[in-house]
Structure 1
């Protein structure tokens, strides 16, 4: 296993991060344990969870599985999305962050969370308040590094500036959506991460299942997120996404490679990505993503795959500013 460094932290992690969102939901404890054992066999040491996953059950199951080897693992969790009907069980206020981290630590059965993500942007709470709370948690040793998911690049840049100005712990890891049909992260998020030396773990490398090769012309499986979950149906409902998925499946067929493994390897191959997050409902499904570790994703092959989907427009209409060509 060739481990990678998370930004400027010095922390070494596997090139795949195992996401445990299915723990306690689609995967019961026995199935979760089987998947955990499988990724550990391969040397994967990076695990992503959140307080909101299965109402806390994901953290509880992961905590039990990790108990005997906690010091060998790098574990993330998150705060921000609602954990109950009370209006204060959500957001990024100091009050909620302080309560949430204690609950996550208890469920995980650990004394610290390696990377603690703010899971969503909170318009009601000043960024300064959130950063001060995270800095206090780092000083207390309850989290080792603050992290951020689902923020725009300008929001993250603002937070980095505030942290630098006030001498606070800064975000060291970001978690954006990134796959062949959702490449918006390439415009500003990934360049920001590379410029500021931030770690990046990306989610949905399979596009909610769209890039698995199961969705071809005239074909649609009976189950799966794109069929059963309205959020994913909306997210990947564009005709252009389906066209890209069909082109990609054909490319994988011609290369004699599983589309699942190839899609994960493509995300893993971006120079700004530390590790894509892979998850599954069972070990059999997980194996497809794990096979990405066996693919030699050269720059040439990655460029060929990238050409199958539209390149997102640049962050500015002044193309010469980006290229340096003034004449």
Structure 2
């Protein structure tokens, strides 16, 4: 597994990272353990979670109770020697209240949540702590100052943000410079073949300013695997499990694009999953692509994608999708 530094940090992370949004949500603890074993045994060292990930995401008032963090913490308890093999990242800022929708990136909330995350993960520090989404109800300076202070006290090594636009990233960097805060290490945003126009500005900004870029949803929540092209919903798919975020991809335009992508993949003799991942890893500025595996066997395609060489003509055709 190839690695590279995340932004200007000392974190040397794998080009493929493990996303754990489904741990405890529709993946059991035992299966999650198998996925963690397989990922780390195959050179994946970045494990990304959030205090929001768990079964509460699918409730009418979506909330997080840290179930994913708890499962990873249980795995670390059973494998205490492997904490140093892992770059452990989590996030804060989504709703964690099961009765009232009250997400926050306030100083008080962050300070409470970091201790909860450390407890659930059975570790005394995080390699990367990320603001999960932009909070327009809290001054950005308050959020960034609090994250920087967590570096000072040793609870986190680095901090980053997620789901920030290029304009929000620019505002953040201005505050960091003015306040002489610890630098922002990374941004984690959605990026895949179906979202390049929407998400390209954030990637370009991160690339220009030496900020690491963690791409989530590289397979468009499974849509780019072609599993939905027949119109059927596979029994064990995200859509069958009721994931609401996948709904954005179900429209005629996306279906047409995925069908054209399938034709290119078939002509090249490359499985759609591998081709989507290989294309993503070759985009300038992408540090790591996060793979949300639900089964161990799905890793085979992803691991193979890292070594794929794509012809210039194929890259051009993919860019025109």
TM-score using structure 1 length = 0.88
Contact 1:88 1:96 in 2 (8 A): no
2:252 to 239, 252, 261: 239
Q: CA offset at residue 141 of structure 1?
A: 0.8
- Residue deviations 1:103-161 (CA, integer Å, cap 9, x gap): 00011111111111100111110001111111110100111111100111101110111
- Residues in 1 aligned to 2:104 and 2:233: alpha-carbon distance in whole angstroms: 37
2:209 maps to 196
- Ranges in structure 2 where 5+ consecutive residues have no aligned partner: 55-64
Mean CA deviation greater in 294-303 or 188-197: 294-303
Q: Secondary structure at the match of 1:4?
A: strand
* Residue 81 (structure 2) aligns with: 68
Q: Tell me the equivalent position of 1:170.
A: 183
CA distance in 2, matches of 1:181, 1:44: 25
Where 1:151 maps in the other structure, the secondary structure is coil
8 A contact 1:227–1:233 mirrored in 2: no
For the residue of structure 2 that corresponds to 1:214, the secondary structure is coil
| Structure 1 position 18 matched with structure 2 position 18 | yes
Of 292, 302, 314, which aligns to 2:305? 292
Q: What is the rounded CA distance, in whole Å, between the counterparts of 1:76 and 1:57 in structure 2?
A: 15
**Residues 1:36 and 2:36 are matched in the alignment:** yes
How many positions carry a matched residue from both structures?
308
The 8 Å contact of residues 217 and 246 in structure 1, kept in 2 or not, is answered as: no
CA distance in 2, matches of 1:75, 1:25: 20
Determine the structure 2 residue equivalent to 1:57. 67
Cα RMSD, aligned residues only: 1.9
Pairs within 5 Å for 1:94-173: 94-173=107-186
Give 1:234 shift: 2.9
Deviates more, 1:54-63 or 1:99-108: 54-63
Q: Distance in 1 between matches of 2:210 and 2:291?
A: 23
Deviations 1:78-113 (A, max 9, x none): 000111146696310000000000000011111111
229 and 12 in structure 1: CA distance in 2 versus 1, 3 angstrom threshold: same
Partner SS state of residue 289, structure 1: helix
Conserved in 2, the CA contact under 8 Å of 1:159 and 1:170? no
Structure 1 residues 34, 187: CA separation in 2 closer, same or farther (over 3 Å shift)? closer
- Give the C-alpha shift of residue 11 in structure 1: 1.7
**Paired position in structure 2 for 1:265:** 278
Aligned to 1:7: 7
Question: Structure 1 stretches of 5 or more lacking a match?
Answer: 310-327
Quote the Cα distance in structure 2 between the aligned partners of 1:146 and 1:180: 27
- TM-aligned CA deviation for residue 31 of structure 1: 0.8
Deviations 1:138-197 (A, max 9, x none): 100111111100111101110111000110123210011011111135531111011100
1:317 corresponds to:
none
How far off is 1:25 after superposition? 1.8
| 8 A Cα contact 2:281 2:306, kept in partner | no
